[in-house]
Amino acid sequence: MTTNRKPLISGNWKMYLNHFEAIQIIQTLSYQLDASDYEACDVSVHPPFTDIRSVQTVLESDRIPMILGAQHCHFEEKGAFTGEVSPGMLEKLNVKYVIVGHSERREIFGETDEHINAKVKAVFKHTMTPILCVGETIEEREEGNAQSKVRGQIQNGLKGVGKERVASMVVAYEPIWAIGTGMTATPGDAQEMCSFVRDCVKEIAGGTTADTIRIQYGGSVKPINAAELLKQPDIDGALVGGASLEADKFARIVKYRLH
Ligand code: PGA
């Protein structure tokens, strides 16, 4: 059984675009996207922390229905954590989605499944929605361990999270070998893994939850491959890095259904 899952197209800007550039790209995007685009899919942008207030102001003052997201946060409410930002601070800026456990956070900054699980809970506690990232390295794929890696990340990431919350969240399947490399997973491979992610959610939280949760694919999504990927039955959106930094490209991905 499939339910009507509205696709979510998210732009993860990573450590690109200062707040002036952020305002410019949001304004350009707002001219390129129209009501029919927002009706067909949800669109979120995830700027660096220093841009969030500026982007919030533009979205709210111009009534642009793009959803404000963040790339990361700490799991504690407050404290002596130099350089960190708390979920409560993001909530105050009307942030709705927070990317949790991106592979760059896991691999470069040493975030563990335990940190990520705590962040999923902290994000929910502040009435925002986590986008939990999972995915395997090229070595894990070649050794036939892609599924066990991803299953472990899902089981650990969702530990102690209630079914209703799981149903409302987003999982982004992002094979690490496809991120920023131009090597996209084939639509068939991406579908197979996203369907596997749904099966894992079913094991943990039941069929209804698995039918409702949205699963994004991420890893070198471009205007040229977005339609094929998003056509797959278990792919409910895309987490877009590089191609979200140019308004034209990101708008064409959002309009994938027209291609
Ligand atoms: P990419 O990044 O689209 O540049 O491959 C995706 C991501 O890291 O979320």
Q: Residue 234: pLDDT band by 50, 70, 90 thresholds?
A: very high
pLDDT (mean) for 212-239? 97
> Has 174 been annotated as catalytic?
yes
Instruction: Please work out whether the CB of residue 219 comes within 6 Å of at least one atom of ligand 1.
Output: yes
- Is this prediction's pTM over 0.85? yes
Cα–chain center distance at 96? 12
Paired residues of 179 in beta bridges: none
Nearest to 219, CA basis, from 148, 154, 136: 136
Non-local (6+) Cβ contacts of 53 within 8 A are 19, 93
Q: Compute the CA torsion angle 104, 108, 111, 113 (nearest 10 deg).
A: 60
Q: Residue 130: pLDDT band by 50, 70, 90 thresholds?
A: very high
Nearest to 10, CA basis, from 237, 207, 164: 237
All structural domains of the chain, each given as residue ranges with its CATH number in brackets, are 8-258 (3.20.20.70)
Predicted local distance difference test score (pLDDT) of residue 259:
78
Q: List the structure tokens of 252.
A: 């064409």
| Category of 144 on φ-ψ map: left (φ > 0), alpha (ψ -120 to 50) or beta | left
Per-residue pLDDT reduced to its tens digit, 160-209: 999 999 999 999 999 999 998 988 889 999 999 999 999 999 999 999 99
Neighbours of 31 (CB within 10 A): 9
pLDDT (mean) for 234-248? 98
Calculate how far, in angstroms, residue 54's C-alpha sits from the geometric centre of ligand 1. 23
Q: What is the largest CA-CA distance in the chain?
A: 51
Predicted local distance difference test score (pLDDT) of residue 257:
92
Q: What angle do CA 215, 56, 80 make, to 5 degrees?
A: 85
Q: Residue 30: pLDDT band by 50, 70, 90 thresholds?
A: very high
> Has 102 been annotated as catalytic?
yes
User: What is the residue whose two structure tokens read 């899952």?
Assistant: 5
Catalytic residue among 72, 102, 111, 136: 102
Predicted local distance difference test score (pLDDT) of residue 3:
64
Per-residue pLDDT reduced to its tens digit, 37-69: 999 999 999 999 999 999 999 999 999 999 999
Predicted local distance difference test score (pLDDT) of residue 4:
85
Calculate how far, in angstroms, residue 11's C-alpha sits from the geometric centre of ligand 1. 9
Per-residue pLDDT reduced to its tens digit, 83-113: 999 999 999 999 999 999 999 999 999 999 9
Residue of 132, 177, 221 best suited for mutating to test ligand 1, as the one with most atoms within 8 Å of CB = 221
Q: List the structure tokens of 9.
A: 């197209």
pLDDT (mean) for 226-249? 98
Calculate how far, in angstroms, residue 110's C-alpha sits from the geometric centre of ligand 1. 19
Q: What is the C-alpha separation between 173 and 235, in angstroms, rounded?
A: 9
- Cβ burial of 41 (10 Å; 0-12, 13-18, 19+) is buried
